Each structure stands twice: as C-alpha cells, then as structure tokens.
Amino acid sequence: MTDTARARKLADRIQVVVAQTLERRIKDPRLGFVTITDARVTGDLREATVFYTVYGDDTEREATAAALESAKGVLRSEVGKQTGVRFTPTLTFVADALPENAKNIDDLLDRARAIDAAVRTSAAGAVFAGDADPYKVPASERDDEDE
C-alpha cells in the first residue's frame, strides 16, 4: 500500500538535500550552474528521480550530467543521513525539459500574435461582400418599414 503523502514529503526533502549538498559539498569543476527543479519518488520509496536544469550550452549540460553521475554516491549517502528512512532511494538524474518547452511555447505565442496582427490590419479596410444586412426580410416587414 503506497502512501502518496509520504512519497511527496520524501521527494521534497530529497530535492532540498541534493540542492544543498551540490552547493556546499560537491566541488567538481564540471558542475555548472545547476538548479534542482523537482524530485519524484516511486510509491515504494525505492527510487527517486531528480530533475535539474543547467544554465549554459550543450557542452556544459553534458559536463554537468557527468559530474552528477560521478557524485551520485555522495549525494545518496547524504540523502540517507538527512532523511532517516530505512532504505535510501537510488537517485536518477534527468535533465528537465521545462525551459526548452517554455521557449517553444513562447515562440508559438509570438507567431500567433504576428498572424493575428496581420489579420487585424487586413480586416481594417474591409467592406462587406454584399449588403450590410445579409439577412432576408419578409416582404410584409419591408412594406412596414417603408411607411
């Protein structure tokens, strides 16, 4: 039976512990400007996935990924010390795709705004193709309006 509240609390604690340990204890020069964005723990509390972002280009991202993999043992032992759970979850580091997705969404929104502006400018001088009132009025109502 899984306790999702406990898994959520443990994931939050793992996120904090990993971020603090990376900041204070890990001195790997390959480690770039990394931010721990999220952590998720499976229902049985055996595996933890830690999501991170790196500020920089692709080479810095690759170097940071290698540095995190090499520091995995130190980070796991620190998580075990500070959480006090019976079994320390194994850590898996995954590069967070959130910044790239946000950039793609911003690009799509900019493109939609440009298309909307083009439609707005082309509709500014437009006139109706037919009459101003395209609906047919019965003859009896037309005669009443003429009087």
Q: What angle do CA 122, 126, 127 make, to 5 degrees?
A: 170
Phi, psi torsion values for 134, nearest 5 degrees: -75, -5
Q: Model-level pTM?
A: 0.69
| Model confidence pLDDT, tens digit, residues 20-75 | 998 888 888 888 788 899 999 998 989 999 999 988 888 888 998 999 999 899 99
For residue 60, give both structure tokens: 């810095």
Q: Using one digit for the tens of pLDDT, what is the confidence trace for 112-121?
A: 999 999 988 8
